[in-house]
Amino acid sequence: MKEFILRYQRQITLEGFGMEAQEKLSKAKILVIGAGGLGCPILQYLAAAGIGCIGIADEDTIQLSNLNRQILFGQEDIGKYKVEVAAAKINALNDHIQIVSYRERFDQQMCIEHFPKYDIIVDATDNFESRYIINDACVLLDKPLVFGAVSQYEGQVAVFNVLSNNIAVNYRDVFPSPPKNDEVLNCAEGGVLGVLPGTIGVMQATEVIKLVSGVGAALTNQMLTYNALTNQFITITLVKNPEANKTSPTSLDIFRQTNYAYLCS
Amino acid sequence: MSIEIIFFGQLADKTGCSKVVLENPGSIDALNKMMKIQYPNLATAKFVIAVNNKIALDNESIHDHAKLAFMPPFSGG
């Protein structure tokens, strides 16, 4: 207990936060999907803040080209699995929390199997296929989703599937169907400024902490866009989109049978 | 009367500008049609339109002096 108070003293001392909010963090179970540019700062700050149980999912190994933004990894880690290095790094930061690693892609079955164990899902992936699978699973399994995405010098953050003023907006309300390959750039083609996923990932971690602790106002039914070149922050209010009803899977059976790889190609 | 449009992400590359001021076409539907003629590259782009910081659906009207944002989906992480 003494160590708990010492470790989180700067948060416990915060007016409006205190021991009550800190204890909520230590009871929270958060799943972070993707341990890349967004996932690294998210994992680091959630572990440091004292989130009780953190799930980490990623099937990739560390490449040299990851190191400009994936700050949990060093040169000696190249070739190792991201989940393994990330878990060891955040365990070294805080060994009072539980860490669960998933060295595989979250397809429909993985979402259905593992989402019920967590309070909040964090989308830190790097492709539309995963993003639509995670969004649809959160809607069907009724899980709050903290969304973050980047492209070149800009990023987006949103909190989906949390009821506020009687509506709960999700990613399909913003973009009812995935773009085709020629409609957007991916990170490998378009590039990304290394610090940008740091900014966006830290904002996602902040939203998780606010949702869990109940402190402040989360980005519920809103999407924030940040432009690193112009220092512009714009927050857009989202609305329910009737188009989303036509494109969203309406049951877990339909979800299981949906070919997301085809929809996103 | 005019409206102002800001383009986010790749949409600024597709239109060749980050901001444009133009005559109010009156509705989102009409704006979409007009923009795709003026900026043919937008025809192959996916985006959502916000009017005065709120997402607008296709049949909505646009008031004079409105500030609009064209926002694309981002996938990177």
Where residue A122 sits, what CATH number does that domain have? Answer: 3.40.50.720
Count: domains in chain B = 1
Check A154 against B74: CB less than 8 A apart. Answer: yes
Angle at B10 between CA B76 and CA B71, to 5 degrees: 85
Task: Specify the pairing of strand A145-151 against strand A29-33.
Answer: unpaired
Check B10 against A236: CB less than 8 A apart. Answer: no
B56: in domain: yes
Where is A41: in which H helix or E strand?
Answer: helix A39-49
Interface with chain B: mutation pick from A173, A175, A204, highest number of B CBs within 10 Å: A175
In Å, how far is A170's CA from the nearest CA of chain B? Answer: 13
B36: in domain: yes
**pLDDT score for A263:** 77
**Residue located via tokens 């990613």:** A171
Full residue range of the structural domain in which residue A140 is found: 2-263
B35: in domain: yes
B66: in domain: yes
Burial class (CB in 10 A: 0-12, 13-18, 19+), A27: exposed
**pLDDT score for B58:** 81
Q: Name the CA radius of gyration of chain B, rounded.
A: 12
| Tens digit of pLDDT at every position of chain A (265 positions) | 889 999 999 999 999 999 999 999 999 999 999 999 999 999 999 999 999 999 999 999 999 999 999 999 999 999 999 999 999 999 999 999 999 999 999 999 999 999 999 999 999 999 999 999 999 999 999 999 999 999 999 999 999 999 999 999 999 999 999 988 777 766 567 789 999 999 999 999 999 999 999 999 999 999 999 999 999 999 999 999 999 999 999 999 999 999 998 777 6
B18 pLDDT above the threshold of 70 = yes
**pLDDT score for A141:** 98
B58: in domain: yes
| Chain A residues 143-172 with a CB less than 8 Å from chain B | 148-152, 154-156
Give Cβ neighbours of residue A204 (< 8 Å, ≥ 6 apart).
A38, A42, A122, A124, A146, A147, A148, A157
In Å, how far is A6's CA from the nearest CA of chain B? Answer: 34
| B27-53 residues labelled b (16+ CB within 10 A) or e (exposed) | ebeebeeebeeebeebeebbbbbbbee
Quickly list DSSP for A117-133. G-SEEEE--SSHHHHHH
Among A98, A227, A208, A92, smallest CA distance to A147 is for A208
Contacts of A149 in chain B (CB under 8 A): 73-77
Please report which confidence band the pLDDT of residue B19 belongs to, taking 50, 70 and 90 as the band edges: very high
| Chain B residues 5-44 with a CB less than 8 Å from chain A | 6, 8-10, 44
Burial class (CB in 10 A: 0-12, 13-18, 19+), A202: middle
**pLDDT score for A186:** 63
B69 interfacial to chain A (CB closer than 8 Å): yes
Count: domains in chain A = 1
Q: Give the domain CATH number at B54.
A: 3.10.20.30
A34 interfacial to chain B (CB closer than 8 Å): yes
**pLDDT score for A1:** 80
B77: in domain: no
**pLDDT score for A261:** 87
Identity of the residue in A37, A127, A236 whose CB atom sits nearest the CB atom of B75: A127
Contacts of A148 in chain B (CB under 8 A): 77
What pTM value is reported for the model?
0.96
B76: in domain: no
Full residue range of the structural domain in which residue B67 is found: 2-71
- Per-residue pLDDT tens for B28-60? 999 999 999 999 999 889 999 999 999 998 889
Q: CB atoms < 10 A from the CB of A35, how many?
A: 33
Identity of the residue in A126, A155, A175 whose CB atom sits nearest the CB atom of B73: A175
| Chain A residues 182-211 with a CB less than 8 Å from chain B | 182-187, 190, 192, 197
Chain A / chain B CB contacts < 8 angstroms: 97
Check A239 against B53: CB less than 8 A apart. Answer: no
**pLDDT score for A185:** 67
